[in-house]
Structures are given as structure tokens and as C-alpha cells.
Amino acid sequence: MGSTLPDFVVIEGPIGVGKSSLASRIALDFEADLVREEIEENPFLDHFYQRPSEAALSAQLFFLMQRTKQMQGLRQSSIFNHSKVADYLLEKDQLFAQVTLSPIEYDLYQQVFEHLVIDAPTPDLVVYLQAPVNTLMERIKKRGRHIERHIEPTYLERLNEAYANFFHHYSAAPLLVVNAADIDFINNEGDYEQLKTQILNTTSGRHYFNPLPFAS
């Protein structure tokens, strides 16, 4: 078993799957720097969840600027003093844009995206957490974020499909695909330890992990 965290690890997955919580715990466990999306800073997000057609472009462009700034900061500090753990992959910005924007809005978004000339660092490992929509809805409801109260299952279904398609073709970095439907890697130490072991042992290629839930 490996014992050293890769220099740059990305935790990804749809809303509610637990990527931010896992990224935070991994970063704390290995004394790594946490690169976290500040969802609450987006002033258009609440409006988007209530009336998607009215606020999708504004919300998406805000996220694009925020994520680009963070990734450029990582690129400028190319010699890492510590490992980095991020709770998003920059490429997922386009994934969300495809799901939320109309064709004409997406065309404008793409022009902005290309104009930014983003040179984000390539992760040493991507961990993609999967879960069905009903599980995502339960977790979203349980954590009780005010801004997420209007999220619809149909939106999560489209998002889940987009994620599955994206990672089916993803090959830019080693990839660990995790079935996160029945495990609790935040509150259950056994669940977390077996997932951590798998993360440390994934150094190349594509791997699928179906963990067995540990009794609490």
C-alpha cells in the first residue's frame, strides 16, 4: 500500500455526492492544501435553482471566473510545497454549462472560455464519486443548505448523465471511479479507510471501486 498522497488530487462528482466533504477530510488527514469551490459566493446561484432559464448564464460565468482564478494560482505555484486536494476539476465547468445553458448561451460561454486561455495543472489523480439521484436528493436534503432547497431531481438526472459521459471518455489523468451510494466516508471510519487505501494505491490507469459498507 502506498502512503504518500499524490501532489495534486481532484475529487469530483455531482451535487450531493460528498466530494467537498471527502476532499476536506483527505486534505486534513495528509496535511495537504485544500482547494475548494466557494459555492456560497456565487450571487446568482439561488436565482438559478429557482428559475434556471433566467440565471443560468450569469451563474455559470461567475463559476468560470472563480475556478479559473484558483487554477491559475495553482499553475503559478508549480513547485508545490504541499500536496493539493481540490473538490472540482476545471473541465467540469463546461460540463455544467452544457447541462444548464441554451445553445445560444453556450456559444457565448464557449467564446469566453476560449478567450481566457486557461492553463490549469493536470491532476495526478482524479477520484470520481458516483451515486443515484435518489441518494443525491437525500444527502442534499440532509445537509440542509438554504441555497439548494429548489434543486429538482430532473436537473440531477441530467447532471449525472453528463458526468457519466464525461468520465467515460476521460483520460487526462489516473482515474478512480467510486460507487459512493452506500458508504459514509465522513462518519464511518471503516468506509473512509478503505476508500483512502484505494486512493493511495491508484497511481495509473482507470480503476473501479465498489466498497463494502462497514458497520458503524
> Is-contact 13 180, C-beta < 8 A?
yes
Catalytic residue among 87, 93, 124, 184: 87
- How far apart are the C-alpha atoms of 196 and 57, rounded to whole Å? 37
Quick check: is 119 catalytic? no
- Catalytic annotation, residues: 87
